[in-house]
Amino acid sequence: MRDQRKMVLLVLLFSGLLIYQGGTAFAITITNPTNGATFNQGDTVTIRVEPSPGDPDLMFVQIFPPRGTQICPELTRPPYECHIKFSAETPREVSIGALARSFSDALLEAEDITVFVRVTATLQGLRVNDNQLFLRVGGNEQLLIYGQYSDGVERHVEDPATGTTYQSTDPRVATVDEKGLVTAIAPGKAVITVKNANKQLQIQVNVKPKK
Protein backbone atom coordinates (compact mmCIF):
# COMPACT_ATOMS: atom_id res chain seq x y z
CA MET A 1 0.00 0.00 0.00
CA ARG A 2 2.81 2.43 0.86
CA ASP A 3 4.53 1.82 -2.50
CA GLN A 4 1.25 2.44 -4.32
CA ARG A 5 0.66 5.64 -2.39
CA LYS A 6 4.23 6.82 -2.99
CA MET A 7 3.73 6.33 -6.73
CA VAL A 8 0.54 8.39 -6.69
CA LEU A 9 2.31 11.11 -4.71
CA LEU A 10 5.17 11.29 -7.21
CA VAL A 11 2.85 11.40 -10.22
CA LEU A 12 0.77 14.21 -8.73
CA LEU A 13 3.73 16.21 -7.50
CA PHE A 14 5.50 16.12 -10.84
CA SER A 15 2.36 16.63 -12.93
CA GLY A 16 1.78 20.06 -11.40
CA LEU A 17 2.96 22.44 -8.74
CA LEU A 18 1.17 20.86 -5.80
CA ILE A 19 1.50 21.79 -2.17
CA TYR A 20 1.99 18.64 -0.15
CA GLN A 21 0.25 18.88 3.21
CA GLY A 22 1.19 15.54 4.69
CA GLY A 23 3.17 14.65 7.78
CA THR A 24 1.58 15.61 11.09
CA ALA A 25 -1.04 18.07 9.80
CA PHE A 26 -3.78 15.78 8.54
CA ALA A 27 -6.46 17.68 6.62
CA ILE A 28 -8.44 14.54 5.76
CA THR A 29 -9.42 11.77 8.14
CA ILE A 30 -10.42 8.13 7.76
CA THR A 31 -13.59 8.14 9.88
CA ASN A 32 -14.61 4.55 9.20
CA PRO A 33 -13.54 1.96 10.18
CA THR A 34 -12.04 3.02 13.49
CA ASN A 35 -8.38 2.48 14.21
CA GLY A 36 -7.85 -0.89 15.91
CA ALA A 37 -11.18 -2.38 14.83
CA THR A 38 -11.42 -6.16 14.37
CA PHE A 39 -13.30 -7.95 11.58
CA ASN A 40 -13.83 -11.48 10.34
CA GLN A 41 -12.83 -12.83 6.96
CA GLY A 42 -15.79 -12.37 4.63
CA ASP A 43 -16.90 -9.13 6.26
CA THR A 44 -17.72 -6.21 3.97
CA VAL A 45 -16.50 -2.87 5.31
CA THR A 46 -17.08 0.71 4.20
CA ILE A 47 -13.97 2.89 4.22
CA ARG A 48 -14.99 6.53 4.64
CA VAL A 49 -12.79 9.62 4.29
CA GLU A 50 -13.86 13.11 5.34
CA PRO A 51 -12.13 16.50 5.15
CA SER A 52 -11.37 18.27 8.39
CA PRO A 53 -13.93 20.94 9.42
CA GLY A 54 -13.31 24.21 7.61
CA ASP A 55 -11.10 22.69 4.92
CA PRO A 56 -11.88 23.37 1.24
CA ASP A 57 -13.77 21.00 -1.02
CA LEU A 58 -11.76 18.14 -2.42
CA MET A 59 -11.08 17.56 -6.10
CA PHE A 60 -10.64 13.84 -5.53
CA VAL A 61 -9.86 11.25 -2.86
CA GLN A 62 -7.86 8.08 -3.40
CA ILE A 63 -8.30 5.36 -0.77
CA PHE A 64 -5.63 2.69 -0.39
CA PRO A 65 -7.27 -0.49 0.90
CA PRO A 66 -5.27 -3.41 2.33
CA ARG A 67 -3.80 -6.26 0.33
CA GLY A 68 -6.24 -9.08 -0.29
CA THR A 69 -9.17 -6.75 -1.01
CA GLN A 70 -10.45 -5.01 -4.13
CA ILE A 71 -9.03 -1.75 -5.50
CA CYS A 72 -10.90 1.46 -4.64
CA PRO A 73 -11.67 3.84 -7.54
CA GLU A 74 -10.77 7.51 -7.47
CA LEU A 75 -13.58 9.40 -5.72
CA THR A 76 -14.51 12.83 -7.08
CA ARG A 77 -17.57 13.72 -4.99
CA PRO A 78 -18.84 13.03 -1.48
CA PRO A 79 -19.48 10.75 0.18
CA TYR A 80 -15.87 9.60 -0.19
CA GLU A 81 -16.49 5.92 0.43
CA CYS A 82 -15.19 2.60 -0.80
CA HIS A 83 -16.63 -0.82 0.02
CA ILE A 84 -14.18 -3.69 0.47
CA LYS A 85 -14.49 -7.32 1.48
CA PHE A 86 -11.88 -9.06 3.62
CA SER A 87 -10.98 -12.25 1.78
CA ALA A 88 -9.09 -15.38 2.77
CA GLU A 89 -5.98 -13.70 1.33
CA THR A 90 -6.21 -10.63 3.56
CA PRO A 91 -3.42 -10.53 6.19
CA ARG A 92 -4.43 -10.57 9.85
CA GLU A 93 -3.17 -7.04 10.48
CA VAL A 94 -3.58 -4.45 7.75
CA SER A 95 -3.23 -0.71 7.21
CA ILE A 96 -5.58 1.61 5.35
CA GLY A 97 -4.50 4.98 3.96
CA ALA A 98 -5.84 7.82 1.82
CA LEU A 99 -4.70 10.81 -0.23
CA ALA A 100 -6.71 13.75 -1.53
CA ARG A 101 -6.22 16.79 -3.75
CA SER A 102 -8.02 20.05 -3.08
CA PHE A 103 -9.17 22.56 -5.69
CA SER A 104 -6.34 24.81 -4.50
CA ASP A 105 -3.88 22.10 -5.64
CA ALA A 106 -2.93 21.01 -2.13
CA LEU A 107 -2.14 17.34 -1.73
CA LEU A 108 -3.50 16.00 1.55
CA GLU A 109 -2.70 12.76 3.34
CA ALA A 110 -4.76 10.97 5.97
CA GLU A 111 -3.19 9.32 8.97
CA ASP A 112 -3.07 5.56 8.42
CA ILE A 113 -5.29 3.31 10.48
CA THR A 114 -4.70 -0.33 11.40
CA VAL A 115 -7.42 -2.97 11.55
CA PHE A 116 -7.32 -6.66 12.39
CA VAL A 117 -8.86 -9.56 10.49
CA ARG A 118 -9.77 -12.80 12.27
CA VAL A 119 -9.32 -16.10 10.47
CA THR A 120 -12.59 -17.98 10.90
CA ALA A 121 -11.36 -21.20 9.27
CA THR A 122 -9.80 -23.89 11.47
CA LEU A 123 -6.20 -25.04 11.28
CA GLN A 124 -5.94 -28.51 9.73
CA GLY A 125 -2.18 -28.93 9.58
CA LEU A 126 1.28 -27.36 9.34
CA ARG A 127 3.75 -27.55 6.48
CA VAL A 128 7.37 -26.56 5.91
CA ASN A 129 9.24 -26.62 2.61
CA ASP A 130 12.09 -28.75 3.99
CA ASN A 131 12.15 -30.66 7.27
CA GLN A 132 15.95 -30.54 7.39
CA LEU A 133 18.28 -27.56 7.70
CA PHE A 134 22.02 -27.62 7.03
CA LEU A 135 23.93 -24.74 8.62
CA ARG A 136 27.47 -23.88 9.60
CA VAL A 137 28.33 -22.47 13.02
CA GLY A 138 27.27 -18.83 13.17
CA GLY A 139 24.79 -19.19 10.32
CA ASN A 140 21.06 -18.66 10.61
CA GLU A 141 17.88 -19.27 8.66
CA GLN A 142 14.32 -18.04 8.99
CA LEU A 143 11.74 -20.82 9.09
CA LEU A 144 8.76 -20.41 6.77
CA ILE A 145 5.79 -22.24 8.23
CA TYR A 146 2.51 -22.67 6.39
CA GLY A 147 -0.85 -23.36 8.00
CA GLN A 148 -3.35 -25.45 6.06
CA TYR A 149 -6.88 -24.29 6.85
CA SER A 150 -10.37 -25.72 6.47
CA ASP A 151 -11.27 -23.15 3.79
CA GLY A 152 -8.58 -24.59 1.52
CA VAL A 153 -6.21 -21.64 1.95
CA GLU A 154 -2.58 -21.97 3.01
CA ARG A 155 -1.36 -19.08 5.14
CA HIS A 156 2.01 -18.04 6.55
CA VAL A 157 1.95 -18.78 10.28
CA GLU A 158 5.59 -18.34 11.31
CA ASP A 159 4.72 -15.12 13.16
CA PRO A 160 4.04 -15.77 16.87
CA ALA A 161 0.93 -13.58 16.57
CA THR A 162 -0.70 -16.48 14.71
CA GLY A 163 -0.18 -18.74 17.73
CA THR A 164 2.96 -20.53 16.52
CA THR A 165 5.68 -21.47 19.02
CA TYR A 166 9.16 -22.93 18.56
CA GLN A 167 11.43 -25.05 20.74
CA SER A 168 14.89 -26.55 20.19
CA THR A 169 15.84 -29.91 21.69
CA ASP A 170 19.43 -28.71 22.14
CA PRO A 171 20.05 -24.94 22.32
CA ARG A 172 23.77 -25.70 22.67
CA VAL A 173 23.69 -26.80 19.01
CA ALA A 174 20.95 -24.60 17.54
CA THR A 175 18.64 -21.97 18.99
CA VAL A 176 15.35 -20.70 17.64
CA ASP A 177 13.72 -17.40 18.60
CA GLU A 178 10.01 -16.65 18.98
CA LYS A 179 9.75 -15.64 15.31
CA GLY A 180 11.30 -18.83 13.96
CA LEU A 181 14.86 -17.63 13.29
CA VAL A 182 17.24 -20.59 13.71
CA THR A 183 20.88 -19.88 14.65
CA ALA A 184 23.65 -22.48 14.54
CA ILE A 185 25.73 -22.47 17.75
CA ALA A 186 27.97 -25.56 17.67
CA PRO A 187 28.50 -28.67 15.50
CA GLY A 188 25.89 -31.36 16.04
CA LYS A 189 22.19 -32.01 15.54
CA ALA A 190 19.06 -30.54 17.10
CA VAL A 191 15.36 -30.78 16.40
CA ILE A 192 13.08 -27.74 16.22
CA THR A 193 9.48 -28.45 17.23
CA VAL A 194 6.92 -26.09 15.74
CA LYS A 195 3.45 -25.96 17.32
CA ASN A 196 0.24 -24.12 16.56
CA ALA A 197 -3.03 -25.06 18.29
CA ASN A 198 -3.02 -28.86 18.39
CA LYS A 199 -0.81 -29.24 15.31
CA GLN A 200 2.95 -29.62 15.22
CA LEU A 201 5.88 -30.54 13.00
CA GLN A 202 9.60 -31.10 13.51
CA ILE A 203 12.63 -29.85 11.63
CA GLN A 204 16.07 -31.40 12.03
CA VAL A 205 18.95 -28.94 12.14
CA ASN A 206 22.38 -30.22 11.11
CA VAL A 207 25.22 -27.92 12.15
CA LYS A 208 28.71 -28.21 10.70
CA PRO A 209 31.90 -26.40 11.82
CA LYS A 210 32.87 -23.14 10.18
CA LYS A 211 34.97 -23.52 7.06
Note the pLDDT tens digit of each residue in 124-173. 999 999 999 999 999 999 999 999 999 888 989 999 988 999 999 999 99
3-state secondary structure of 161: helix
Q: Mind listing the domains of the chain with CATH numbers?
A: 28-118 (2.60.40.10), 123-208 (2.60.40.1080)
3-state secondary structure of 74: coil
Provide the pLDDT for residue 190: 98
Tell me the C-alpha distance between 31 and 50, whole Å: 7
Q: How confident is the model at residue 182 (pLDDT cuts 50, 70, 90)?
A: very high
Judged by average pLDDT, the poorest of 84-88, 121-125, 185-189, 202-206 is 84-88
Tell me the C-alpha distance between 211 and 207, whole Å: 12
pLDDT above 70 (res 121): yes
pLDDT above 70 (res 14): no
Provide the pLDDT for residue 13: 45
How far is the CA of 211 from the CAs of 138, 158, 171, 183, 187, in angstroms? 11, 30, 21, 16, 12
If one compares 121 and 132, the residue with the highest pLDDT of the two is 132
Question: Nearest Cα to 136, choosing from 204, 185, 192, 208?
Answer: 208
Provide the pLDDT for residue 8: 53
**Are 169 and 193 spatial neighbours (Cβ–Cβ below 8 Å)?**
yes
Q: What pTM was computed for the model? A: 0.62
Provide the pLDDT for residue 22: 47
First to last CA, the chain: 43
DSSP E strands in the chain: the ranges are 19-21, 28-32, 38-40, 44-51, 58-64, 80-85, 93-102, 106-109, 113-118, 123-128, 132-136, 140-142, 145-149, 154-156, 165-168, 174-176, 181-184, 188-196, 199-208
CA 15 to chain centre: 31
Tell me the C-alpha distance between 84 and 65, whole Å: 8
